[in-house]
Amino acid sequence: MMNQSLLTKPTAVSGPQNRTIIVAAWLSMLFLSRAPQIILQEFLGIDMSSSILQWWLGIALCLTAGTFIWSVLRPLRGYFIVLLTVYGGTTVLDSLTSTAVWQSWFGGQTAAWAVRFFGERLGVVLLALLVTAVLLLLGQSRQDIFLTRGNWQVSSGLRWPGRPKPLGWGVVGPAVALLLAVLFGWGLLALSPGVQRQWPALIPLLPFVLLFAFMNAFGEEMAFRAGPLSQLWRVIGERQAVWLTAVWFGLGHFYGGIPSGMLGAIQSGLVGFLFGMAMIKTKGIAVPVLMHLLIDTAIYVFLAMTAV
């Protein structure tokens, strides 16, 4: 009874109500993204870095409560619960990572590169597991939240010249991601001429690079894509849901992304759209995680270069 009263499987609505829900979903996403912080800090000079998480938590809590009051918002309840979980979990993780015990394990900024990055990526994985647990406890199945391998053979709409059979997402997705990984890696090196290219010294770090890239890929795809996307696509449609989560993902990289700023936000948003399309078409997490892993590997190779 609790599962059914709190969170039912999202269903599509039509007509004017659907337009209202789409507008509500986009507006709520913007309020629960970096957009307010970007506007206040970059254009008005008001620093929100210390209070943005409290802002997100308050807005997410109000929106979740609003779904019990305003019937129009009810189809978005699952989406709001996911964002409330993300920001609530982030608040708890921020407190956890600042404790003496965590610092003694992972050492903060003074620790070795591998130890420090493992601690950081562990936080992302824990957040993903929290989002997964909340949705499963609220009655969602693994299929509902894309926690399956998915159908790698589903058509991407692209074909080899002269061949009638379209290529599957299991081929196109990783191929595009590999190309982007090469371009990202080249771009990072081109923008950082002072980074030493000591390739032999990187070899011992490659297992850590792959581990951290996988942890980050799975964590972000589960917490920041599968979670919200699974609650939106039946309500506002596949394309709207993919773009909405991609914009949210891109805005999240404005501060602290690699690269950051407007360039980082646009790049991450477009890549997030590709990941989202792979997820929504294959109905699984495996292909987008593999794509994300390939791109993150290039980024972590670059970060490893800064440590040798």
pLDDT tens track for 10-67: 555 555 568 899 999 999 999 999 999 999 999 999 999 999 999 999 999 999 999 9
Average pLDDT over residues 294-305: 92
Q: At 2, is the pLDDT very low, low, confident or very high (cuts 50, 70, 90)? A: very low
Q: At 165, is the pLDDT very low, low, confident or very high (cuts 50, 70, 90)? A: confident
pLDDT for residue 200: 77
pLDDT for residue 201: 76
Q: Which residues of 40-66 are buried (b: 16+ CB within 10 A; e: fewer)?
A: ebeeeeeebeeebeeebbebbeebbeb
pLDDT for residue 192: 75
CA distances from 144 to 21, 61, 78, 138, 273 (A): 20, 23, 12, 12, 20
Dihedral of CA atoms 205, 112, 117, 305 in degrees, nearest 10, equals -50
Is the pLDDT at 214 greater than 70, yes or no?
Answer: yes
Average pLDDT over residues 129-147: 98
Enumerate the domain spans of the chain.
2-305
Q: Cα 12 to chain center, whole Å?
A: 24
pLDDT in tens, 226-244: 999 999 999 999 999 999 9
- HSE-CB for 130 with a 13 A CA cutoff: 21
Strand 155-159 relative to strand 166-168, pairing: antiparallel
Give the whole-number percent of the chain exceeding pLDDT 90. Answer: 73
pLDDT for residue 44: 94
pLDDT for residue 1: 32
Q: At 189, is the pLDDT very low, low, confident or very high (cuts 50, 70, 90)? A: confident
pTM of the model: 0.91
Q: At 263, is the pLDDT very low, low, confident or very high (cuts 50, 70, 90)? A: very high
pLDDT for residue 8: 55
**How many residues does this entry show for the chain?**
308
Q: Which of these, 268, 266, 277, lies nearest to 295 by C-alpha position?
A: 268
**Residue 150 to residue 143: CA distance in whole angstroms:** 9
